[in-house]
Structure 1
Amino acid sequence: MGVGRTLEPCRRRILSGFDEWLTKILGRAPTDTGPFQRALTHGSQAAENYERLEFLGDRVLGLIMAEWLWEQFPNEPEGQLSRRLNTLVTGAVCADVARDLGVRDHLRLGKQARDDGASDSDNVLGDVMEALIGAWYREAGLEAARAFVRSAWGDRVHAQGKAPQHPKSALQEWAAAHNRKAPEYVVTDRSGPHHAPRFTVTVRINRSGEASAMGANKQEAETAAAKALLAKLNG
């Protein structure tokens, strides 16, 4: 009995802290914290985890970001807006936003995932960020989700004055301009635990050069490899 009396007040403080954190990042308290707890739950902790909410939040984020860019850069064509969008919704950027919001302190991870460093994994944090967006969209609708995303991303939308060109597109253009075949990308290694894999990709342009790089997924590794090869070719 004595143990129960000791633990119960502690439990109330933890829940209160979670509620206060949600209220702070969302602007008001949700009526049901259950979906948000699920949005912060990794598959190593429970079967009811963030994956379905992440699926929804990914689409909501894309819509909100596309609308925001369309408003902010009225004179840019579709191609430049797409490049901005692709940069702003990457897993790495979503993870960076999650860190700024203090998501790591509220993640629900299994022991092995914690030991493997999942609390600072771009893959995990990026997915959780999208899951939180999905949960808030379901709770409060598109207008509230829009306000949340715009507040969370802040001045990242204007961080680059000119729309960035994706390294893979730039490498493709270099190959065409130098009468070379299109770059070839090959996954040469995969390592790390399931929740935080590391891919190594080698990109090659025949008779010009090659470069390898690592990433948390194939797309990230391909992008890093293309950037590395461009640096060699233009160096």
Structure 2
Amino acid sequence: MTRGSRPPSGDAGLDALEEALGHRFRDRSHLVLALTHISSVTGLQGSRARVRSYQRLEFLGDHVLGLVVSDMLYRAYPQAEEGELSRRLADLVCEDSCAEVARAMGVGAHIRLGTGEDRDGGRERTAILADIAESVLAAVYLDAGFPAAEALVERFWRPRLKKAGGTARDPKTALQEWSQARGFPPPTYRLVERSGPDHNPHFRIAVEVPGFDHVEGAGSSKQNAQKAAAAAFLEQVNA
């Protein structure tokens, strides 16, 4: 599909998605790729399959999102220190927040999934929706440049800005501060188990503080599993 061409008739349902995004694609192939999960790519394996899915776009979108939101926070909170800005950024770009954005965009019905992934509820899976939010952002960036991507972030992430960060701390940061205040060494994290396919992994991680039993947490990424473990540890010691 060349730049400026319209999609085949089978993509007509994407009109509503474009309206929700507030962006009319000049080359809709960017959007189609952003919605293509690796499970729907047939006849290819490994890296050849991954480049036909949204994974490269998700990588790009993650970095575009980080830049735009960082700039947004820098301007919105001129008196905030680096630590507060970092906490607010983490809240706005985390997996759960991006998945909420994807739901607000209404992408679920348009995701291209393999039969098994679709049957197993992939359209509502937080990890997939979070990836899609970032890949769609990257698609807009490639289609129309940084101003269009910035407008998309303003449209969907700014409403979450005022409630993000607040006084809540990242569980890992809170646990580290808890340990330090009591004279314990910094907590360490150990991978207990990794399961699931490459496109939908599941991690179980243990957090350890000397003198305490280890506590485990699980998530769709190592970072999320570490946060879950830290939160579970704090809940246990504060019970």
TM-score where L is the length of structure 2: 0.87
Give 1:26 deviation, angstroms. 2.7
Residue in structure 2 matched with residue 110 of structure 1 by the alignment: 114
Take 1:152 and 1:170, find their aligned partners in 2: how far apart are those partners? 28
**Are the equivalent residues in 1 in contact too, given 2:84–2:165 (CA < 8 A)?**
no
User: Secondary structure at the residue paired with 2:12?
Assistant: helix
CA distance 1:160–1:44, shift in 2 (3 Å): closer
Q: 2:22 maps to which residue?
A: 27
Counterpart of 2:145 in structure 1 is 141
Matches within 5 A, 1:61-100: 61-100=65-104
5+ unaligned residues in a row in structure 1: which ranges? 1-10
Asked if 2 retains the 8 angstrom alpha-carbon contact of 1:185 and 1:204, the reply is yes
Distance (whole Å) between structure 2 residues aligned to residue 185 and residue 129 of structure 1: 29
Instruction: Note the aligned Cα RMSD (angstroms).
Output: 1.7
Structure number with greater Rg is 1
- Alignment partner of 2:13: what SS? helix
User: For residues 161 and 230 of structure 1, what CA distance do their matches in structure 2 show?
Assistant: 19
Which letter does structure 2 place at the counterpart of 1:204?
E
Q: Post-superposition shift, 1:173? A: 1.2
Following the alignment from structure 1 to structure 2, what is the Cα–Cα distance between the partners of residues 75 and 163? 15
1:148-190 deviation per Cα after TM superposition (whole angstroms, max 9, x unaligned): 1111124211114725321111111111111112112112222
Aligned match of 2:33: 38
Report the structure, 1 or 2, having the larger helix content: 1
Distance 1:84 1:211, change over 3 A: same
Which residue does the alignment assign to 1:172? 176
Could you tell me how far apart the structure 2 residues matched to 1:28 and 1:35 are? 12
Q: Which amino acid aligns with 1:32?
A: D
Give the match for residue 18 of structure 1. Answer: 14
Determine whether 1:155 maps to 2:159.
yes
Where 1:65 maps in the other structure, the secondary structure is helix
Identity score, percent: 40
Structure 2 Cα separation of the partners of residues 117 and 195 of structure 1: 14
* Residue identity matched to 1:18: L
> Do the aligned partners of residues 57 and 201 (structure 1) sit closer, same or farther apart at CA in structure 2, a change above 3 Å counting?
same
The amino acid that maps onto 1:63 is L
Instruction: Give the structure-1-normalised TM-score.
Output: 0.88
Runs of 4+ residues deviating >6 angstroms: none
Tell me the distance in 1 between the aligned counterparts of 2:127 and 2:194.
15
Structure 2 counterpart of 1:66, one-letter code: S
SS across alignment from 1:44: helix
Contact 2:17 / 2:107 at 8 angstroms: preserved in 1?
A: no
Residue in 2 that maps onto 1:208: 212
Structure 2: which amino acid aligns with 1:35?
A: H
Q: Write the distance in 2 (CA, Å) between the matches of 1:18 and 1:60.
A: 23
Alignment gaps of 5+ in structure 2? 1-7, 42-48
